[in-house]
Structure 1
Amino acid sequence: MIQAFLAALTVWPAGAAELKVPSTADRAPRKVIVGTAMQAFWGEYPGLEKRLAQLGGLVDQMAEESRKKYGRGLDLAVLPEMAVTGELSGDVVGRSVAFEGPVREAFARKAREHRCYIVVPTYLLEDGRKACSNAAILVGRKGELVGIYRKLHLAVHTGSDSLEDGATPGKEAPVFQCDFGKLGMQICFDIEYDYGWRELARQGAEVVAWPTQSPQTTHPAARAIAHRYYIVSSTWRDNASFFEPTGKILAQIKEPAHVLVQELDLSYAILPWSPGLHNGDAFKEKYGTRAGFRYYRDEDRGIFWSNDPQVPIGEMIRSLGLNEAHEELRRIRKLYEKAGVPE
């Protein structure tokens, strides 16, 4: 049993052990419904008006699925990379689109209709119309512009020195305060570099939207566990996925479906295997449906949350004499320090 307990802790990376992002276990439950899409945009461009109608239709499908599945509306819709413009080459600046005008009007209207946030990826024509960026624009529930993330790590094709045919890279990785929590964004090739993901964690991101052409799952799973946030991919092919802070894929869409909706609770705790946990059954026995969890025997850990607005999951954990994974690691590290074990 002791060996299993230590093994469960050692899968937790050192950065997460120090928990630079504060635990949310003592906050009241925060249920957030997020929608994502898997939709390819290769082929002849249909024109801006038809493309905006197509994307609005995807948001409509997410909102409808949310009502069917959870009995209430969507909180956040995430669309795939470059959804508005499609993939551009050659005169990227000349074929980019401004946010002001039809794009803003279409998504402001759709956000107000469904009272949700929308992540709108596009090649964005910047002010002055002499530069463009591969961007993800966050539109708020009332149709307001919340903020823009500009892709830091633009793709570079083999044998080329061009950054996405002349697009301008972003300079920062902002976190946006939404009414449900803190949202960060990264785009496609950003997955290959640490800076943006680390910066989002430093600023306390709880959910990261990842619009992307690439359907990778191993990289984002590693990012999720290392930085203790949810990641939602929205892709062109193969799959779109929800990644837990455990690193596990919570939900995934595959062809022929195009949209997926999932409820997340941003007030959660990650617990390692321990004798008193009984693979999560200790929560069932004491709290029944007032507590929710997904326990993974193959990883010797699980994610736990409260369904009782009056009792945070942290209080439930303490009532059972248990500790979160980072608390156990911190306690054990002190013992190692006394024993002279190097970090």
Structure 2
Amino acid sequence: MSNYVKISTIGSREFIVDELLTTEEIVDRIIKHLQQKLSQVLPEQPDIIVLPEFCDIPFNVFLSPAKTHEYCQVRGDRILRLFSDIAREHGCYIAYPTLRQQEDQSWRNSIALLDRSGDKVGEYAKNYLTLGEIEDYGVTCGTEAPIIDCDFGRIACAICFDLNFDRLRLQYVESKPDLILFSSLYHGGIMQPYWAYSCRSHFVGAIGGGQPSAVLSPVGEVLASSTNYFDFATTTVNLDCAVVHLDYNMERLRGLKSKYGSKVKIADPGYLGSVLISCETDECTIEDIIQEFNIERLDDYLDRATAWRAE
């Protein structure tokens, strides 16, 4: 059964404020800035909006740890409440990444996920911090990699430097989220499609600094991207899908395409040896199709090859 999810990703160029403004005035300016950013994608009626790392901290404020801490303390939950109201009004999820001070006074670089009612349904704290975050900003590493349940599927998160660390990626390989949200000031290059493919997950990058923000498929294809003209992108993905290897599946794939035609989509990125099959009908699910045609998933094929090697 198709499971369509409309995703909006918003990037950012460096937002600068007049440093002669009071901190309260700076918060007011950033609120107007963020309202304008979200107004670009809200007419599309997305199911989820993903924002870049430190989305509500002006670039020139962030250059100073002392100013950043002061700003965040004055800001408090004002922007959280703003996003909560927008999520409730428009019936969408919002992934809101920023620097937050916890009840124990520690600082965390985290993503808070708000649901369609504006309630916080989960939070991910960056597991792998840069040395600058630790030494200059006093940020504390997160220790958990939660999977957050949404009404359309299961979400995992990563922030910036996290993308360099296999330990976190392998946790997600094991937990198999439907969607990975990546908020960052660093693009990650080849790591984005690598994470998407290795985790068999759709991947959403919301990247600051004027770099491309994009939605990738589980076989690493870019499905939609921001451009040099527009720092946002919206696309619809189908989470009722599976990654399968072509070995031993070619005839089976021809059979399912012959029977289901446009009700099944087969996306081949080329050179990979694996394809993404998606169920585009409500008559059945991707699992039904896999069982009907005895199609072997990529992970099952790799496990079978590993077992033969062990023997």
**TM-score normalised by L of structure 2:** 0.86
Between 1:197-206 and 1:275-284, the stretch displaced more is: 275-284
Given the alignment of the two structures, is residue 166 of structure 1 paired with residue 138 of structure 2, yes or no?
yes
SS at match of 1:239: coil
Where in structure 2 are the equivalents of 1:1-343 lying within 5 Å?
A: 28-44=1-17, 47-64=26-43, 66=44, 73-87=45-59, 88=62, 89-91=64-66, 92-97=68-73, 101-127=77-103, 130-157=105-132, 162-236=134-208, 237-274=210-247, 277=250, 282-338=255-311
In 2, the alpha carbon distance for the partners of 1:336 and 1:98 equals 60
Q: Residue 151 of structure 1 aligns to which amino acid in structure 2? A: K
**TM-score normalised by L of structure 1:** 0.78
Cα distance change, pair 301–101 in 1 and its aligned pair in 2 (3 A): closer
Q: CA deviation at 1:251?
A: 2.5
Q: Residue 172 of structure 2 aligns to which amino acid in structure 1? A: L
CA deviation map 1:5-41 (0-9, x unaligned)? xxxxxxxxxxxxxxxxxxxxxxx33211111012123
Contact 2:126 2:141 survives alignment (8 Å): yes
Q: CA deviation at 1:179?
A: 1.0
In 2, the alpha carbon distance for the partners of 1:321 and 1:282 equals 11
The count of corresponding residues between Structure 1 and Structure 2 is 300
SS at match of 1:174: coil
Between 1:262-271 and 1:272-281, the stretch displaced more is: 272-281
Cα distance change, pair 319–38 in 1 and its aligned pair in 2 (3 A): same
SS at match of 1:296: coil
CA RMSD of superposed structures (Å)? 2.6
Unaligned runs of 5+ in 1: 1-27, 67-72, 339-343
CA deviation map 1:92-123 (0-9, x unaligned)? 43232478642232111100121011011111
Sequence identity, in percent? 20
| Relative contact order higher in (CA < 8 Å, ≥ 6 apart) | 1
In 2, the alpha carbon distance for the partners of 1:214 and 1:164 equals 19
SS at match of 1:186: strand
Q: Residue 231 of structure 2 aligns to which amino acid in structure 1? A: H
SS at match of 1:211: strand
Q: CA deviation at 1:242?
A: 1.7
Q: Residue 90 of structure 2 aligns to which amino acid in structure 1? A: H
Cα distance change, pair 135–334 in 1 and its aligned pair in 2 (3 A): closer
In 2, the alpha carbon distance for the partners of 1:244 and 1:99 equals 36
In 2, the alpha carbon distance for the partners of 1:93 and 1:293 equals 49
